């Protein structure tokens, strides 16, 4: 079986070069005589892997010196609890912008811990746009504002960040992390589950402004305490060592391939091919407000269940897999992360054109 074009939203496609490098080092890493999986997390070899991953990430995103980089576990979803526990403790208040299911889940979880309000929402139009906000939309005594930077399920993204003044902005960038440059200095915290654009499931990368640490709720489970994780350089307990190693290989791959400016260029080129076709197709329709379209997750519909099933099935038979939309929204979704080659998108569009000709 040849490798397919995998349009899965996550766990998702990874660069072949990276997988091959990992395969070549699988049983014997460097001079260690063992696999990274078999290595102590306190060994010199692993320490080097962790430090290189951190310094490459810092370089890729130009992370300022007053931010810590953490490798955490529990998925992005564990941070939905950890964020209020760590940060909602001065006034016990936070505002959330609800742009999709992930934001909503984070919002509902945070409500357990304090006075949490939805400052804006795009639920009225099935999350097909990013609601515009001004500073006035936020209460002035809140501990933070929370957003989802890229909405994996609905295919929207923030192109202009909400103006929160001095209030820390916390953002879930799970599905677009490292797809383009991001000005970390505008955030109190940015985090991302690795399995969308960075590596295997099991690692969450968190970048946190140092002065926000150390103010956690007394009941915060120790594993969710960001200050403890920071003080221990993500080694409070055994971290997801192999996942960190893989993320490190992806960071190195990004650096070798021109960094995030170059990645953005490539991602825009890929997304435009797909959106241009969708905007002109007589069969397929894009679902997202033009100015808010994600570069990573592209949902589209035909509007006929039978035809959609047929499309997904025939696509699969032709090597374009995982195009089914999220179970809650139906239709189709092509996730075209960093590792999806231009050729994969070009061939998908060719296939869609052919399907359109045969079925209109």
**Residues identified as active-site:** 102, 172, 196
Which among 221, 224, 226, 222 has a CA at the least distance from the CA of 211? 226
Instruction: Indicate the Cα dihedral angle 60, 247, 294, 352, nearest 10°.
Output: 130
Q: Rule CB under 6 A: choose which of 6, 7, 10, 324 binds ligand PLP.
A: 10
Backbone torsions φ then ψ of 350, nearest 5 degrees: -60, -45
- Rounded to whole angstroms, how far apart are CA atoms 164 and 135? 5
Q: Is 11 in the site for ligand PLP (CB under 6 A)?
A: no
Residue 68 contacts residue 228 (beta carbons within 8 Å)? no
Residue 299 contacts residue 288 (beta carbons within 8 Å)? yes
Q: Rule CB under 6 A: choose which of 95, 109, 143, 172 binds ligand PLP.
A: 172
Residue 230 contacts residue 213 (beta carbons within 8 Å)? yes
CB of 193 to ligand PLP, least distance (A): 3
Q: In this structure, how many other beta carbons lie within 10 angstroms of the beta carbon of residue 25?
A: 15
Q: Is 73 in the site for ligand PLP (CB under 6 A)?
A: no
CB of 283 to ligand PLP, least distance (A): 28
Q: Is 8 in the site for ligand PLP (CB under 6 A)?
A: no
Q: Rule CB under 6 A: choose which of 175, 229, 234, 267 binds ligand PLP.
A: 175
Per-residue tokens: 68? 């810590």
In the shown chain, the binding pattern of residues 78 to 117 toward ligand PLP, with x for contact by CB under 6 A and - for none, equals ------------------------x---------------
Q: Is 179 in the site for ligand PLP (CB under 6 A)?
A: no
Range 290-309, binding ligand PLP (CB under 6 A): none
Q: Is 197 in the site for ligand PLP (CB under 6 A)?
A: no
Residue with tokens 């960001």: 226
Task: Note the residues at the interface with ligand PLP (CB under 6 A).
Answer: 10, 75-77, 102, 148, 152, 172, 174-175, 193, 196
């Amino acid at each position: 079986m040849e490798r397919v074009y995998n349009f899965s939203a996550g766990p998702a496609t990874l660069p072949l070069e990276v997988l091959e490098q990992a395969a070549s080092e699988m049983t014997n890493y460097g001079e260690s005589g063992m696999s990274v999986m078999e290595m102590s997390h306190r060994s010199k070899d692993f320490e080097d892997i962790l430090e290189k991953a951190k310094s490459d990430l810092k370089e890729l995103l130009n992370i300022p010196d007053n931010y810590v980089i953490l490798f955490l576990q529990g998925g992005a979803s564990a941070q939905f609890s950890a964020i209020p526990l760590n940060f909602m403790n001065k006034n016990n208040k936070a505002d959330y912008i609800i742009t999709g299911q992930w934001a909503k889940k984070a919002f509902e979880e945070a409500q357990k811990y304090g006075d949490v309000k939805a400052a804006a929402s795009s639920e009225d139009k099935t999350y097909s746009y990013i609601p515009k906000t001004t500073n006035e939309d936020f209460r002035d005594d809140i501990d933070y504002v929370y957003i989802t930077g890229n909405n994996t399920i609905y295919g929207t993204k923030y192109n202009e960040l909400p103006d929160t003044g001095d209030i820390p902005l916390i953002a879930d960038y799970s599905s677009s992390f490292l797809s383009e440059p991001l000005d970390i200095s505008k955030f109190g915290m940015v985090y991302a589950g690795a399995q969308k654009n960075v590596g295997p499931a099991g690692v969450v990368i968190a970048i946190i402004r140092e002065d926000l640490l150390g103010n956690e709720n007394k009941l915060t489970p120790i594993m969710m305490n960001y200050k403890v994780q920071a003080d221990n350089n993500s080694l409070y307990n055994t971290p997801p060592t192999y996942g960190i190693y893989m993320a490190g290989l992806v960071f190195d791959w990004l650096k070798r391939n021109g960094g995030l400016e170059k990645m953005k260029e490539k991602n825009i080129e890929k997304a435009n091919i797909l959106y241009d076709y969708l905007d002109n197709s007589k069969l397929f329709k894009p679902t997202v407000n033009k100015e808010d379209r994600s570069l990573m997750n592209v949902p589209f519909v035909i509007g006929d269940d039978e035809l959609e099933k047929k499309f997904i099935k025939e696509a699969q038979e032709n090597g374009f897999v995982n195009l089914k939309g999220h179970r809650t929204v139906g239709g189709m979704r092509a996730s075209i992360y960093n590792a999806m080659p231009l050729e994969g998108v070009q061939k998908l569009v060719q296939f869609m054109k052919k399907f359109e000709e045969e079925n209109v």
